[in-house]
């Protein structure tokens, strides 16, 4: 029998967040009822999600926010919970706050729809988020709340069925600049060669330092991992450093074809494609053509340029089904407060979309450029994040680049960070 949820009203917001917590995370079959009598007489596992309790039935107090149909600044009341501060404080039997309203707010990225200062790339900034301000950015709190709820439900209903899950690690690689020399223009290539000769660094003439693909293939196969490679094929902007796919026998196209033999391939939409849907469509078509018209259904935005709701609407219009952009450039952690893939909720139309969001946890550039960590510090930082995902048997997604694994130039010593991350994820036992 399914878990019965009593709620006076049933709407898309509730369906969305209950699906994520109960189904996607906990594997619990559930159903809603708005009938008090049906709830009272139900003899199996049940949960009251309303403003007021029914006797001693398990109760989570509902905040009015979950029934709203607007996007506006919220006047939060906070409470302390598990060593950090959480919004939607409402005391009830199971939690001192409305976990479903809080989870919906964080999961839908509600705060990113509100006016806030952007960084130089017009991106929402981590330091403006509730998670950063209240100390839980580095914890998948929604998953933590879900398993706490499961514990409380099973104390009352030990026969409640749930599905356990296993920790999953997905390495993803962004290909912004496929080769240091091979795919450069004539003049840029010669300038780099002259610089290398002057620095007595002629080894790059024998082995392109950015050609880390055989190394990656062997490393991923060692740990039986299924990597995803995102290829940048637009080259209109200064920040778009990949070469154009102008020849079916170009080095870049041959590279894409070779990697597609053993890994998933996704589009890395160019810097300005957020603002030009025709560019996005063209780039997807170009990448698909390089793969004999294979359908391209996964994406991650170049420079993590994510503007809600426009970016996700554009991806849906381009028939993209999975996006891997959900994470911050400036900070590691859990931008949507979960380590479980989830559907994008369109707040403007109050509908659940068909676009699956796969949040990543850590990026190489974040560790080195933004946080200014040494390789050893980066290893420690990454292992702590893996530990948090392991606690809830969630999905740990990393974002790396082929050139940062080169041990070349400023990236000396950073190949070891990647190797240690894979080794630690593989060896650490599941909880």
Name the pTM for this structure. 0.94
Task: Give yes or no for residue 246 having a pLDDT over 70.
Answer: no
pLDDT the model gives residue 427: 87
Task: Give yes or no for residue 30 having a pLDDT over 70.
Answer: yes
Q: Read off the pLDDT of each residue in 74-78 and give the average, rounded to a whole number.
A: 94
Q: Is residue 119 included in any domain, yes or no?
A: yes
Overall number of domains in the chain: 2
The span from the CA of 242 to the CA of 184, in Å, is 9
pLDDT the model gives residue 277: 87
Where residue 251 falls among pLDDT bands split at 50, 70, 90? Answer: confident
Task: Give yes or no for residue 244 having a pLDDT over 90.
Answer: no
Task: Give yes or no for residue 338 having a pLDDT over 80.
Answer: yes
The span from the CA of 422 to the CA of 426, in Å, is 6
Residue 60 shares a structural domain with residue 204: no
Residue where a domain stops, chosen among 156, 188, 215: 156
Residue 136 shares a structural domain with residue 215: no
Residue 211 shares a structural domain with residue 343: yes
Q: Read off the pLDDT of each residue in 283-306 and give the average, rounded to a whole number.
A: 94
Residue where a domain stops, chosen among 130, 156, 182: 156
Task: Give yes or no for residue 247 having a pLDDT over 60.
Answer: no
Dmax over Cα atoms in the chain, in whole Å?
A: 84
Task: Give yes or no for residue 238 having a pLDDT over 70.
Answer: no
Residue where a domain stops, chosen among 156, 186, 210: 156
Residue 194 shares a structural domain with residue 86: no
pLDDT the model gives residue 234: 84
pLDDT the model gives residue 269: 95
Measured in degrees and rounded to the nearest 5, phi and psi for residue 352 equal -90, 120
> Looking at residue 279, which CATH number applies to its domain?
3.20.20.370
What are 381-419's pLDDT values in tens digits? 999 999 999 999 999 999 999 999 998 888 999 999 999
The span from the CA of 395 to the CA of 341, in Å, is 8
Residue 364 shares a structural domain with residue 221: yes
pLDDT the model gives residue 76: 93
What are 162-194's pLDDT values in tens digits? 999 999 999 999 999 898 766 665 556 555 555
pLDDT the model gives residue 60: 97
Measured in degrees and rounded to the nearest 5, phi and psi for residue 354 equal -100, 10
What are 201-233's pLDDT values in tens digits? 656 656 788 999 999 999 999 999 999 999 999
Measured in degrees and rounded to the nearest 5, phi and psi for residue 396 equal -100, 115
Helix boundaries (H) for 260-403: 277-290, 310-317, 364-365, 375-391
pLDDT the model gives residue 45: 98
CB 312 within 8 A of CB 353: yes
Q: Is residue 162 included in any domain, yes or no?
A: no
Q: Which of 139, 143, 76 is nearest to 111 (CA)?
A: 76
Q: Give the range among 35-39, 187-191, 264-268, 402-406 with minimum mean pLDDT.
A: 187-191
Q: Is residue 161 included in any domain, yes or no?
A: no
Residue 129 shares a structural domain with residue 182: no
Task: Give yes or no for residue 275 having a pLDDT over 60.
Answer: yes
pLDDT the model gives residue 196: 56
Residue 148 shares a structural domain with residue 185: no
The chain-wide mean pLDDT, for the chain, equals 92
Q: Is residue 163 included in any domain, yes or no?
A: no
Residue 137 shares a structural domain with residue 190: no
Domain extent for 38: 3-156
Task: Give yes or no for residue 241 having a pLDDT over 90.
Answer: no
Interhelix angle 310-317/277-290, rounded to 10 degrees, is 50
Q: Assess whether the previous peptide bond of 203 is cis (omega < 30° from 0).
A: no
pLDDT the model gives residue 289: 92
pLDDT the model gives residue 208: 83
Measured in degrees and rounded to the nearest 5, phi and psi for residue 386 equal -60, -45
């Amino acid at each position: 029998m399914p878990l019965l949820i009593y709620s006076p009203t049933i709407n898309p917001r509730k369906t969305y967040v209950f699906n994520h917590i109960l189904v996607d995370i906990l594997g619990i079959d559930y159903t809603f009822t708005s009938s008090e009598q049906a709830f009272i007489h139900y003899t199996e596992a049940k949960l009251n999600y309303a403003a007021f309790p029914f006797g001693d039935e398990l109760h989570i107090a509902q905040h009015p926010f979950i029934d709203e149909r607007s996007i506006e600044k919220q006047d939060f009341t906070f409470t302390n919970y598990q060593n950090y501060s959480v919004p939607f404080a409402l005391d009830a039997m199971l939690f001192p706050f409305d976990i479903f309203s809080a989870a919906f707010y964080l999961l839908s990225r509600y705060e990113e729809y509100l006016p806030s200062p952007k960084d130089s790339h017009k991106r929402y900034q981590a330091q403006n988020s509730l998670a950063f301000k209240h100390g839980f950015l580095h914890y998948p709190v929604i998953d933590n709340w879900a398993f706490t709820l499961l514990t409380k439900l099973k104390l009352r209903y030990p026969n409640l069925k749930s599905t356990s899950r296993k920790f999953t690690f997905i390495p993803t690689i962004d290909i912004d600049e496929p080769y240091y020399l091979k795919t450069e223009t004539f003049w840029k290539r010669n300038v780099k060669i002259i610089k290398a000769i002057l620095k007595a660094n002629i080894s790059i003439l024998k082995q392109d330092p950015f050609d880390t693909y055989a190394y990656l293939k062997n490393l991923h196969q060692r740990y039986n991992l299924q990597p995803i490679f995102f290829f940048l094929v637009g080259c209109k902007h200064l920040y778009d450093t990949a070469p154009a796919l102008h020849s079916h026998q170009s080095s870049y196209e041959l590279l894409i074809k070779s990697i597609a033999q053993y890994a998933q391939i996704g589009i890395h939409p160019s810097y300005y494609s957020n603002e030009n849907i025709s560019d996005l469509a063209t780039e997807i078509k170009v990448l698909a053509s390089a793969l004999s018209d294979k359908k391209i259904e996964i994406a991650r935005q170049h420079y993590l340029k994510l503007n809600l709701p426009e970016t996700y609407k554009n991806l849906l219009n381009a028939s993209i089904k999975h996006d891997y952009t959900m994470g911050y450039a400036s900070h590691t952690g859990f931008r949507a407060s979960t380590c479980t893939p989830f559907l994008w909720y369109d707040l403007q139309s109050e509908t659940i979309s068909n676009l699956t969001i796969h949040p990543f946890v850590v990026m190489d550039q974040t560790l080195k450029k933004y946080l200014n960590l040494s390789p050893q510090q980066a290893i420690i930082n990454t292992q702590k994040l893996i530990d948090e995902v392991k606690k809830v048997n969630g999905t740990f997604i990393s974002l790396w680049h082929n050139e940062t694994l080169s041990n070349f130039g400023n990236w000396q010593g950073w190949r070891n960070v990647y190797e240690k991350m894979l080794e630690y994820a593989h060896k650490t036992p599941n909880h």
